[in-house]
Amino acid sequence: MPNPIRKIKSLFSKPAFSSGNYWEERYRSGGNSGGGSYGRLADFKARVLNEFVKRNTVRSIVEFGCGDGNQLSLAEYPQYTGLDISPTIIDKCKQRFAADPRKRFFVADEKGFRENGDLFKSELSLSLDVLYHLTEQSVYENYLKSLFNYAEKYVIIYSSNQNIKPFNSHELHRKFTDDVDRLVTGWRLVDQIANDYQPTDLADDESSMANFYFYQRTQQA
């Protein structure tokens, strides 16, 4: 016989937060990728990334969490593959960059990896302002593994890197470098670049706790 107390509790229980649902709803309702993809923060990221790609003669890039494409509009990449969990924003990116054959976009779901995973392999994997939005531990860990598995030479992560008590439902800041050491092998952290715009106020969209972290493969893929 069903437990009536359990049934009543289930009616009032708060559903588990889903980072994928959060971003799909945000983009479907007309939202964008956030302040980090616009203004001086976007310009700072573009300077660092474009210089790295040019200096290391990187020929192919895959980005795990491409967002609305505003950051990409500042990029100088020879060949680019953008992945995102939101079908809505992938459709918008396809439309926005339809005239550029160097760019292609895919939904980062099980079907997308199964049907197109071979196309995702690239010299450089990018993760920009994504890690601290993956609040579910399993999603976060699987993301990190994929980020490195699909990179042939380099991984660049732009994120905070400290354990901070959550201050909203869609962010969870972790010391991700420890998790990289635990979850992946054959990679070495070779460089870091501090953000030009460190925050004085967590609500300031023109500042960020994120810095650049550069990994290089030490073992053959």
Span of 18-22, 52-56, 82-86, 97-101 with lowest mean pLDDT: 18-22
11 located within any domain: no
Query: What is the domain-level CATH number for residue 157?
Result: 3.40.50.150
66 located within any domain: yes
CB atoms within 10 A of CB 130: 25
Span of 17-26, 151-160, 173-182 with lowest mean pLDDT: 17-26
Query: What does DSSP assign to residue 76?
Result: -
Domain count, the chain: 1
Chain-wide mean pLDDT for the chain?
89
3 located within any domain: no
12 located within any domain: no
Span of 5-9, 56-60, 95-99, 111-115 with lowest mean pLDDT: 5-9
55 located within any domain: yes
Decide: 60 and 124 in contact? Cβ < 8 Å. yes
**Reported pTM:** 0.88
- Cα separation, 69 vs 129, whole angstroms: 13
102 located within any domain: yes
- Cα separation, 138 vs 141, whole angstroms: 5
33 located within any domain: yes
Residue type, 159: S
Highest mean pLDDT among 32-41, 45-54, 164-173: 45-54
Decide: 32 and 68 in contact? Cβ < 8 Å. yes
User: Which range marks the domain in which residue 134 is found?
Assistant: 18-217
Strand partners, 193: 212
Q: Tell me if residue 173 falls in helix, strand or coil.
A: strand
- Least Cα distance to 129 among 171, 101, 91, 163 occurs for 171
| Overall average pLDDT of the 110-129 stretch | 94
Residue type, 155: V
Decide: 19 and 26 in contact? Cβ < 8 Å. no
Higher-pLDDT residue of 78, 28: 78
If pLDDT is split at 50, 70 and 90, which confidence band does 73 have?
very high
CA torsion angle for 139, 140, 143, 145 (degrees, to 10)?
-110
Indicate if the pLDDT at residue 58 is higher than 70.
yes
If pLDDT is split at 50, 70 and 90, which confidence band does 206 have?
confident
